Amino acid sequence: MVLNAHDFGHGIALAVEAAQFAANHRRVQKKFLNVLKVTVVGMAAAYAIIYVLVFFPLLLLQTGNMMLATFLQYDSAQTTLSLLSTRGAVEHFLSTLPLLGLDIIVHARPSLFSDVFFTMLGEVDPEYARILKAWPPRKFRWAKIKFTVQRLAKRYMMTLLASYLSRIPLVGWMVVPLGSLTMMAKFVGYPVAGSIALLLVVSPGSRHSTIFIFKSLLAMKDFSSDLLRPYFAHLGAKPEQQVVFYKQNESSIVGFILAFYFFVQLSWVGPAFFILAQAAIALFISRQTVRPPEYTSGATWEPVQSAKKDE
């Protein structure tokens, strides 16, 4: 599906409106702060554990290396450089720890973020929140595992195939540009994707930028899945149904997600923006979907049925 400029802009506008709405309502602010506290404590605990388990032994090794070099009179320069290199790698890992800690908490305590979603939805549309919350959340663990494995296997095979094809003499250089063109065209259409692929051919040095754009597009899809989890869970949406819903609302979802995505990637403040985005998605759901019916035993309601038609 090619991104629609109008829907894309509408998604960004909804994100801005939702952020302003959340900032002006006390219940949402209180829930935001409570979840942020739990998240920060969890990340701080993970940081402390890793620091003790990794940095303390490294400090002991550095001290021991210095003492042995002093008493045994040997050149410790190579060992010192190795230890410093290891320390630098660990410090780089710790700089990304808030996002790693956030990812762990999101999957370990999904109820925290579901509460943020329903608190915001209760402020935006109390009736929608009441009806949706009445639907018992359902988990399709095997379906999710199967879907995830198939997706990862497909991506791995495509990457492996591209790696082998790119080694073919004379035509191998075209594999990455054509692959980028085909994949990006699904998001932005062939004109824009063609321009990016042409830039990759004319300027090979832009390859890292092209890969960054493509990885960001894939990451935004995963980000949207995390934010929409409370909505999908209560409607019992299977992975295949979630994909259809995403395709129906792709342009507006990408615009909405883009308004938060790069802020979420910021190391130490990213978790706060993720929680804000989790609250904000409730306004998106209330505006872009039809309210499901009252729950009755055995009832089903597919998200693809609830997508609103453009007015």
Q: Is 216 among the domain residues? A: no
What pLDDT score does 284 carry?
95
Rounded to an integer, the average pLDDT of 198-209 is 67
Whole domain around residue 70: which residue ranges? Answer: 5-137+226-305
What pLDDT score does 184 carry?
67
In terms of C-beta distances under 8 Å and separation of at least 24 residues, what long-range contacts does 124-128 make, across chains too?
124/21, 124/282, 124/283, 124/286, 125/286, 125/291, 127/291, 128/285, 128/286, 128/291
Q: Is 103 among the domain residues? A: yes
What pLDDT score does 13 carry?
95
The structure tokens listed for 70 are 């002093």
Give yes or no for residue 66 having a pLDDT over 50. Answer: yes
Rounded to an integer, the average pLDDT of 53-71 is 76
Q: Is 60 among the domain residues? A: yes
Rounded to an integer, the average pLDDT of 78-90 is 72
Give yes or no for residue 309 having a pLDDT over 50. Answer: no
What pLDDT score does 310 carry?
46
Give yes or no for residue 86 having a pLDDT over 80. Answer: no
Q: Is 117 among the domain residues? A: yes
What pLDDT score does 18 carry?
95
Q: Is 30 among the domain residues? A: yes
Percent of the chain with pLDDT over 90: 23
Give yes or no for residue 260 having a pLDDT over 90. Answer: yes
Written as one string, the DSSP assignment of 108-138 is H-HHHHHHHHHHHHHHH-HHHHHHHHHSPP-
* Intra-chain end-to-end CA distance of the chain, in Å: 20
| pLDDT confidence tier of residue 145, bands split at 50, 70 and 90 | low
Residues 6+ apart with CB under 8 A from 143: 238, 239
| pLDDT confidence tier of residue 311, bands split at 50, 70 and 90 | very low
**250 or 190, higher pLDDT:** 250
Q: Is 278 among the domain residues? A: yes
CA–CA gap between residue 114 and residue 133 (Å, rounded): 10
CA–CA gap between residue 72 and residue 34 (Å, rounded): 56
| pLDDT confidence tier of residue 186, bands split at 50, 70 and 90 | low
The structure tokens listed for 107 are 């999957």
Hey, how many other C-beta atoms are within 10 angstroms of the C-beta on 2?
A: 15
pLDDT tens for residues 88-140?
766 666 665 556 667 777 877 888 899 999 999 999 999 999 999 998 887 65
Rounded to an integer, the average pLDDT of 265-284 is 89
Q: Is 106 among the domain residues? A: yes
Q: Is 294 among the domain residues? A: yes
- What value does the mean pLDDT of the chain take? 79
What pLDDT score does 195 carry?
73
Q: Looking at the 3D structure of the chain, how many domains does it have?
A: 1
| pLDDT confidence tier of residue 69, bands split at 50, 70 and 90 | confident
- 0.75 surpassed by pTM: no
Give yes or no for residue 176 having a pLDDT over 60. Answer: yes
